[in-house]
């Protein structure tokens, strides 16, 4: 899907994904496939919204009759602050990816969607995890992983940001100075490095052979993070299944219907 609209030129539709950049997003094809499977006549589009125009753009889409929007990079913290009615998880992590324009409520289906994918990648019980990053995405995943009983260590390029994240969330988690994956079952890349085609210098040679490398970003090519992990002989997982899982949860939150996961997965490719 390479079609997106500038927010001022957005067509009449029911749902959208907002971000900047956004033309690469698979969300429209995933949601549109879900509506077809459910026999719903809804339209879901991708709309480019620069962060400084977020409030104005959301108001405009609401006036056009949009019922809800997903938001992605770099709008997730803005969405949490914008919402008059954030759920508990959004209030706690300060990041939202799904908003309802009928009541200005907000939720975060990224974190729950990520947790949904863990059994299928081989993590079905609480495990030792190395989480990379300290931005909005990492905050949401850290809270969800801790809630799920996982034992998490955090590494971030700027350690102060990781310490701040841990303090803000009030969790007891070690912030490590080197990205050393020794003894962990899962290494999760929640940094935005892959979006810039950059890697995170994980010391893969110290990982156990069964360690899983999971990048929450997705693309046609493996990210440098996953390429390096794969070269180290590890199992690699990209963010495509998480994208489908969060889309399914968003649809269920908006419409109160069971999402047609298989159709959504097929559309994602």
To ligand ATR, the closest distance from the beta carbon of 47 in angstroms equals: 18
157 is a site residue for ligand ATR (CB under 6 A):
yes
36 is a site residue for ligand ATR (CB under 6 A):
no
Residue with tokens 């269920």: 252
* Nearest CB to ligand ATR, comparing residues 63 and 196: 196
The one among 193, 244, 248, 267 contacting ligand ATR by CB under 6 A? 193
To ligand ATR, the closest distance from the beta carbon of 263 in angstroms equals: 28
Full 3-state SS string of 161-217: HHHHHHHHHCCCCEECCCCCCCCCCEEEECCCHHHHCCCCCCCHHHCCCCCEEEECC
Q: Which stretch binds ligand ATR (CB under 6 A): 22-30, 121-129, 154-162, 241-249?
A: 154-162
88 belongs to the catalytic site: no
73 is a site residue for ligand ATR (CB under 6 A):
yes
The one among 100, 161, 164, 180 contacting ligand ATR by CB under 6 A? 161
How many residues line the site for ligand ATR (CB under 6 A)? 18
Catalytic residues: 76
Please report, as ranges, the residues that interact with ligand ATR according to CB under 6 A: 73, 76, 133-138, 156-158, 161, 191-193, 196, 198, 200
């Amino acid at each position: 899907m390479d079609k997106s609209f500038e927010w001022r030129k957005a067509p009449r539709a029911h749902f959208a994904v907002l971000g900047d950049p956004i033309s690469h997003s698979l969300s429209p094809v995933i949601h549109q496939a879900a509506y077809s499977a459910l026999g719903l006549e809804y339209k879901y589009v991708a709309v480019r919204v620069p962060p400084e125009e977020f409030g104005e753009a959301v108001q405009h889409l609401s006036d056009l009759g949009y019922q809800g929007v997903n938001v992605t990079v770099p709008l997730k913290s803005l969405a949490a602050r914008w919402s008059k009615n954030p759920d508990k998880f959004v209030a706690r992590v300060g990041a939202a990816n799904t908003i309802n324009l009928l009541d200005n409520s907000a939720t975060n289906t990224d974190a729950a969607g990520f947790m949904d994918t863990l059994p299928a990648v081989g993590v079905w019980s609480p495990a030792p995890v190395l989480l990379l990053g300290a931005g909005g995405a990492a905050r949401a995943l850290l809270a969800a992983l801790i809630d799920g009983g996982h034992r998490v260590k955090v590494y971030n390029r700027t350690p102060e940001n990781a310490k701040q994240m841990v303090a803000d969330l009030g969790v007891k988690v070690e912030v490590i100075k080197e990205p050393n994956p020794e003894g962990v079952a899962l290494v999760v890349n929640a940094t935005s490095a892959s979006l810039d085609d950059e890697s995170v210098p994980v010391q893969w040679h110290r990982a156990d052979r069964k360690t899983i490398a999971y990048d929450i970003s997705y693309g046609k090519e493996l990210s440098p993070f996953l390429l390096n992990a794969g070269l180290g002989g590890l199992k690699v997982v990209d963010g495509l299944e998480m994208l489908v899982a969060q889309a399914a949860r968003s649809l269920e939150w908006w419409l109160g219907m069971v999402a047609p996961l298989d159709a959504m997965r097929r559309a994602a490719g």
